[in-house]
Amino acid sequence: MDKKVLIYDTTLRDGTQAEGVSVSVEDKLRITEKLDSFGVPYIEAGWPGSNPKDMAFFKEVKSLKLKNAKIVAFGSTRKASLNVERDPQIQDLIRAETPVITIFGKSWDLHVTDALKTTLEKNLEMIHSSVEYLKKYADEVIFDAEHFFDGYKTNPDYAIEVLRVAQQAGADYLVLCDTNGGTLPNEIENIIKAVRKSGIDGKLGIHAHNDSDTAVWSSIVAVLNGAVMVHGTINGIGERCGNANLCSIIPNLTLKLGYETVGRDNLKKLKEISNFVSDIVNMPVPKNMPYVGDSAFAHKGGVHASAVLKTPKSYEHIFPDDVGNTRKVLVSDLAGKSNIIYKAKELGIDIDYSDERLTKLVQEIKELESQGYHYEAAEGSLELLIRKHLRTLGKYFNLDAYRVLIARRYTDIAPISEATVRIKIENHYEHTASLGHGPVNALDRALKKALVSRYPSLSEVELIDYKVRIVNESGGTAAKIRVLIESRDKDKKWGTVGVSDNIIEASWQAVVDSIIYKLVKDGIKPLEE
């Protein structure tokens, strides 16, 4: 059995049909280069002539020096009323000058009669003439049998005949499409076996949508039954519920089943390319996404953390670095000593399991979490808490007072927020005030203003996200409030947390932790050890 599977990426075409996704020509070119460096052999880049953006892309992509990927232009069979020479979209496919052309044709008789409003025989003529004609202008022509599995269920003879006609016309690959995403993997297997029994011996591919949440497994089942090409998108983005997720398919095929896909070395870039595409299309990778999610190898329970630190495979099905991910041991009210030891080692602090400070730290973390603190997303505050207990955190300044004023006069368009901060550094007081876009921004500005002359690197810190959560909803307006702040400098991002029944105080705690974390991270010596 051939153990090589061709990965066919359609992020730039099918993926961009996802709700809320819009990419520029430059975005598409950057993703193309990234996919090429990842080792993807086929990149379906768009539909020439469907919009000016795709027309521009096919012109610009010719200047890229790609090493692995073939660019694919996508379109449909000719219209029933036109021959191939006169069909504009067929001619646009040729003008794209790509080495590979993919066209889809109807294989479900319902679509032929109700959507195309033509006859079953005419549809077969359209498929044959389109494939045969395009073969003169491209190295490879791939035929997507749209709605193949639904078509097979209602009229198997016709669905098979569609494949036979495309194969006779010269199609290099026959791709079976679960366009509606409603076919389950066991059905996929049975239908592919039936296709082979019918005498279709061409190279098969699979193009699955995820409407039944089975697209990844359907794709793998197709490979196990002889498919040599798999269509999908990075992170599974796509119309409705998305396409088959290549970030799961590729490692499953490579690491679990021993198929050759993008190469073992390239597989280590999987999380990198997942994040890259996510950033460009502005669709965050779900934390719990297998293989590439931030939580894919995260361990929270104390028993799990203890075991995985001794024997990683006890709670991890692969090594995280095989796909470019990392192990994460979380600290929460479920944590045990092993979680803390792991975190301390990450910080370069060695601590023994029997150290009494460790027991007290675990107890305090559990108590703080019961009060509403949340350290999984506040690694900055967690590090400071660990350092405080292990007596490796010094004093950088002392708070004397802060005040926040919010006022709106009848002449003001919006409320004005002003914060005043008075801090003590050694024996010197700094008393500053600052306006801001809201009270938290004003506090953040006033504190930095007071400290930046002594600690210049604080000018790099930017508050980029601010989240407020009610801890005990039954408390009404007196409920405790958790504030999570995300900050960044030129090198990294970090989170900090504050909890109080006063939203300003909770915000102040998180802001102060953010500032102190930056100073610790930069190795700045404190005033007092």
- Could you tell me if 332 and 361 are in contact, meaning their C-beta atoms sit under 8 angstroms apart? no
- Could you tell me if 222 and 192 are in contact, meaning their C-beta atoms sit under 8 angstroms apart? yes
Task: Give the model's confidence band at 317: pLDDT under 50 very low, under 70 low, under 90 confident, else very high.
Answer: very high
Mean pLDDT, range 322-350, rounded to an integer = 72
pLDDT one-digit tens code per residue, 247-291: 999 999 999 999 999 989 999 999 999 999 998 998 889 989 999
In the 8-state DSSP scheme, what is residue 459?
A: G
The one-letter code for the residue type at 261 is T
Provide CB contacts within 8 A for 168, sequence distance 6+: 128
The pLDDT of residue 2 is 63
Same domain membership, residue 310 and residue 205? no
What residue has token string 């498919």? 227
Q: Is residue 56 part of a domain?
A: yes
H-assigned helices in 84-184 = 88-95, 109-110, 120-134, 148-154, 156-169
Sign of CA dihedral 48, 53, 55, 57: negative
Q: Which residue has the higher pLDDT, 364 or 204?
A: 204
How many beta carbons lie within 10 A of that of residue 260, not counting itself?
A: 13
Same domain membership, residue 338 and residue 245? no
Task: Give the model's confidence band at 171: pLDDT under 50 very low, under 70 low, under 90 confident, else very high.
Answer: very high
pLDDT one-digit tens code per residue, 172-225: 999 999 999 999 999 999 999 999 999 999 999 999 999 999 999 999 999 999
Q: Is residue 311 part of a domain?
A: yes
The pTM of this model reads: 0.73
Q: Is residue 375 part of a domain?
A: no
Q: Is residue 386 part of a domain?
A: no
Provide CB contacts within 8 A for 263, sequence distance 6+: 39
CA distances from 381 to 129, 154, 187, 349, 518 (A): 66, 60, 51, 16, 11
What residue has token string 């708070």? 399
Provide the CATH number for the domain around residue 435: 3.30.160.270
* Total count of domains within the chain: 3
Same domain membership, residue 329 and residue 218? no
Tokens of 391: 């007596």
How many beta carbons lie within 10 A of that of residue 51, not counting itself?
A: 11
Supply the range of the domain harboring residue 472. Answer: 398-521
Q: Is residue 379 part of a domain?
A: no
